[in-house]
Amino acid sequence: MNVVITGASQGIGLAIAAAFANAGYTLCLCSKTKANMDAAGNSLAAKYPNAIIHFTDADLSQKEQCVKFANWCLEKGTPSILVNNAGYFSPGNIQDEADDALEKQMAVNLYSAYHTTRALLPAMLKMGKGHVFNICSIASLNAYAQGGSYSISKFALLGFSKNLRLELKDKGIKVTAVCPGAVYTNSWVGSGVDPNRIMESEDIAKMIFAAAHLSPQAVVEDIVMRPQKGDL
């Protein structure tokens, strides 16, 4: 089976890719930065020789790049699983954040998932089965200090997930919104936060892998995960 993962060169996306590669899936991966995606893709291919790893660079803040990436994936086969993980975070308050903060974060956090999903859906609908995972956030559920446009964009992504779930539930395609709290990725390096205080990327990957392997008549609609000691 084919698995499409966006934002797959590091952090949560890379951990998800590793989980499916370990099980021998065919992966179609992308990230905005070519050097990072090449390094991650080659590393996965070397570590998991039983998997087929396709990877490319794509700036999914641009609609035409989403469509181009989706068509590139379809050349490798119809995906059974799509993980919309591409994301961008810029902290700030609505009243004084950069003028383009909303546009930039909506483009990556919402529109990339919307356009990529729409481009892949016809083939998935024709196949009659599939699973879409949208990587939302705890910021999709509650406002928080310095959340600003990031939280707005993640609320919107959760709304997209809910509507997509309603539309596709009778068509054999599952939709899961994944809402993790703090996860230790490169963005936390140098922050002073103890890595043992927050979750690991692999924690999220394990939950997604498990949710993807239920019976056809079962779906996990929402996955909410937080550090054991609560949000920071």
The string of pLDDT tens digits covering residues 6-65 is 999 999 999 999 999 999 999 999 999 999 999 999 999 999 999 999 999 999 999 999
CB crowding 98-121: b at 16 or more within 10 Å, else e: eeebbebbbbbbbbbbbbbbebbb
The pLDDT-based confidence of 190 (bands split at 50, 70, 90) is confident
In sequence order, which residues have a C-beta less than 8 Å from that of residue 134 and are 6 or more positions away? 84, 113, 157, 158, 160, 161, 164, 175, 176, 177, 178
pLDDT at 189 over 90: no
pLDDT at 191 over 90: no
> What type of residue sits at position 33?
T
Q: Are 41 and 29 in contact (CB under 8 A)?
A: yes
Q: Are 154 and 139 in contact (CB under 8 A)?
A: yes
pLDDT at 187 over 80: no
Structure tokens, 138: 């705890």
Its CATH architecture, for the domain 2-225, is: 3-Layer(aba) Sandwich (3.40)
Structure tokens, 118: 């729409």
pLDDT at 224 over 80: yes
CA–CA dist 87, 136 (Å, integer) = 9
Collapse the DSSP code of 110 into the 3-class scheme (helix H, G, I; strand E, B; otherwise coil) and give the result: helix
Q: What pairs with residue 57 in β-bridges?
A: 31
Q: Which of 124, 178, 218, 168 is nearest to 13 (CA)?
A: 178
What is the reported pTM?
A: 0.97
Is 184 one of the annotated active-site residues of the chain?
no
Of 25, 88, 150, 184, the active-site residue reads 150
92-123 pLDDT tens trace: 999 999 999 999 999 999 999 999 999 999 99
Place of tokens 């993962």: 5
